[in-house]
Chains A and B, each alone.
Chain A
Amino acid sequence: MAGTLAEKVWDAHVVRRGTNGAPDLLYIDLHLVHEVTSPQAFEGLRLAGRPVRRPDLTIATEDHNTPTLDIDRPIADTTSRTQIETLRRNAAEFGVRIHSLGDADQGIVHQVGPQLGLTQPGLTVVCGDSHTSTHGAFGALAFGIGTSEVEHVLATQTLPLAPFKTMAITVDGQLPPGATAKDIILAIIAKIGTGGGQGYVLEYRGEAIRSLSMEGRMTICNMSIEAGARAGMIAPDETTFEYLKGRPHAPEGADWDAAVEYWRTLRTDDDAVFDAEVVLEAADLEPFVTWGTNPGQGLPLSGSVPVPEEIADANERVAAERAIEYMGLTPGQPLRSIKVDTVFIGSCTNGRIEDLRAVAKLVEGRRKADDVRVLVVPSSARVRLQAEAEGLDKIFLDFGAEWRNAGCSMCLGMNPDQLAPGERSASTSNRNFEGRQGKGGRTHLVSPIVAAATAIRGTLSSVADLGPDVPVPDGSPLVRTDALQTA
């Protein structure tokens, strides 16, 4: 029977079909663990006297709480320290592999899986973190789970899951210069809304998606959850295989051939039917930025802050009024006139090596705007090492930016990297919720190159605003193929 990519991966993992409305029991290939959503799960195992069923399909790292400065010193915040020490103790007690702060393989959990080659096409991947959808970029069915489910997977390596619907999101054509993967996903969320993907697994298709590097695909799948979707997926292709080949946990020799043969079957059949379809023209896209307090409240940078009276839907109007007040904006104000205090470049959405290269290319030889604080936080220690090997750290420091150690950092401000009340950021992360980056903080979500242009000018800006002498990036991957490539 014809099937979609998501259905094929699901069907290959059904341990037991649910009957009479009961969910299917699905096998989980890879379980990623971090310090915030796991302590209560391990505690549950301990209380019930249960072991981790498959430590060899489980990997832990420290990311949400970790400081990005002075990582060789004791963590100042005692509750953060307790949580990280708890993870280390649990990993030791239950035999789970862990990459701790200071280890070259430590980093944001959604970077660690791909860079080690553990994230592969056709897998089921879970983690107690909603941005697990990132791994869908490889054609894996990957989704975030709560702590009870973390405990369930630790104990049984399975999850009971209700069936999902499928939505095709086709992005035709080629992106114009200055528009990036981030702008595609922000435009999609603005189009379908923060609840538009609810109950669906999204499959991103079309020429613009196929042209993206793995980094760009991860950016898109990462934010599927911001449209309310269970997961986002992209069918694996040569770009995927090339990224994986030679990574530490990628299959080798005959195993590689067998795996690739299977991976090539992981595509939606031509006659398969999606429950819903959305089409976007890449050529229509331009740099996108959010003005409000949910990721669906975004507009092209050339636009203006909405005027609530002009919004027909009553719920949306009230939400817009509230968001504009919280954000300290004026209805009708051009988005380009918004001045920022902080530029944050990092997170599981846009903290990868390609993002850092794109930023470095623009800021090289320049100085940041006065009074703007610029934080560059690589998504993993390997990404940091890679960037240093390419000399990007010098470029950032000469620009006046701070070059930090890896972690989630200001994306959610669980560590000291926070906005002060009323402070405004342009951020390459994924959520602009009230208080997300610090109590009272105001967040505008942007792409890495918009972040770079904004850091240079001090107001929300695109690369085109830097003047006619600055070439606008055309979105082609900034990938180096030499032996240094590790991240």
Chain B
Amino acid sequence: MEKFTQHTGVGVPLRRSNVDTDQIIPAVYLKRVTRTGFEDALFAAWRGDPSFVLNQDAYRSGSVLVAGPDFGTGSSREHAVWALKDYGFKVVVSSRFADIFRGNSGKQGLLAAQVAQEDVELLWKVLETRPGTEVTVDLEARTVTCDDVVVPFQVDDYTRWRLMEGLDDIGLTLQHADEITEFEARRESWRPATLPAKHLPPVEVRPARPVVGVELGTTRRA
């Protein structure tokens, strides 16, 4: 993972609360088996609207997203983080993040910077008054700077350290493989295992077929 200490880029004001992960990337885009190439899927439903913030030239090249409270709620899909990263975002600023989204961000090197809602309002004001204004996010100092607005942000110490060092979680954990093995030796024997597989006798599952001759909803898709 790349080390993250400071980033400067165009700020994008997303004046919405409860931006759930279905809005960040709709489920139809989750079928790919790769980890990259999701940039076109970001905010797919909103991108069709010419007035949407990312469709305005001044914000198109944005890399710091400033959103309302409860960003990243809903589905655990890490694709939401990949889509933001693939588009070019390095930082999301919000007054409150969903837990799973925050965790996913930290693992992928996307900084989820939590600031007070009144500070989000200040940032929105600058970014909307002067579209294209750059924002500097300093992870070392934990500040977001945008013109004359300088606000502090919160990020937990452990995530900050990992981001600044560019460390990979699995590698860190495997340094403690002996302790995992010791723990496994202490586990009770009755705890369940998936193998060898046990189940009820196999039974044939009949495939359902499209219903013919039944009156369906008039708005039904062909």
Contact = CB atoms under 8 A, between A and B. Distances in A.
Q: A and B bound?
A: yes
Interface of A: 15-16, 18, 20-23, 25, 27, 29-30, 36-37, 39-40, 43-44, 48, 50, 53, 55-59, 64-65, 68-73, 77, 79-80, 82-83, 86, 97, 102-106, 116-118, 120, 123, 128-130, 144-149, 151-152, 155-158, 160, 162, 194-195, 198-199, 225-226, 228, 230, 248-251, 255-256, 258-259, 262, 294, 315, 318-319, 322, 341-342, 370-373, 381-382, 384-385, 400, 402-405, 412-414, 418, 420, 422-423, 431, 433-436, 439, 486
A412 B70 contact: no
A40 B99 CA distance: 21
Given A195-B96, A413-B28, A294 B198 contact: no
B169 A144 contact: no
25 contacts: A70-B210, A73-B207, A102-B205, A104-B202, A105-B200, A129-B76, A146-B107, A152-B169, A155-B173, A199-B99, A226-B74, A228-B98, A248-B199, A248-B200, A249-B198, A259-B190, A318-B17, A341-B217, A381-B205, A412-B75, A420-B221, A423-B217, A434-B45, A439-B26, A439-B45
Contacts of B16: 322
B77 interface: yes
Interface string B22-39: 110011101111110000
Contact of B179 (A15, A144, A370, A423): A15
B141 interface: no
Contacts of B195: 55-56, 97
Interface in B66-113: 68-70, 73-79, 81, 96, 98-100, 103-104, 107-108
B170 A48 contact: yes
B98 to A, nearest CB: 6
Contacts of A123: 191-192
B47 to A, nearest CB: 12
A79 B74 contact: no
Contacts of A25: 173, 176, 179-180
B74 to A, nearest CB: 6
A294 B116 CA distance: 23
A385 B203 contact: yes
Contacts of A226: 74
B200 A486 contact: yes
Nearest to B48: A439
Contact of B100 (A23, A144, A381): A144
Contacts of A50: 170
Contacts of B34: 39-40, 43
A162 B78 CA distance: 18
Given A80-B31, A195-B96, A381-B205, A97 B170 contact: no
Contacts of B218: 341, 371
Given A255-B190, A315-B68, A146 B100 contact: yes
B31 A83 contact: yes
B97 to A, nearest CB: 8
B103 A146 contact: yes
Contacts of A27: 180, 183-184, 187
A117 to B, nearest CB: 7
Contact of B208 (A120, A160, A404): A404
Interface in B131-178: 156-158, 161, 169-170, 172-174, 176-177
A198 B114 CA distance: 14
A413 B31 contact: no
B22 A145 contact: no
A194 B195 CA distance: 38
A148 B221 contact: no
A435 B77 CA distance: 16
B51 interface: no
A156 B33 contact: no
Contacts of A83: 31-33
Given A18-B158, A194-B18, 6 more contacts: A20-B157, A29-B191, A82-B33, A156-B180, A315-B69, A370-B215
B156 A21 contact: yes
B55 to A, nearest CB: 18
A228 B194 contact: no
Nearest to B80: A146
A422 B217 CA distance: 13
Contacts of B205: 71, 102-104, 106, 381, 384-385, 405
B219 interface: yes
Contacts of B35: 40, 43-44
Contacts of B183: 15, 27
A373 B78 contact: no
Contacts of B23: 433-435
Nearest to A404: B208
Given A294-B20, A382-B200, A22 B219 contact: no
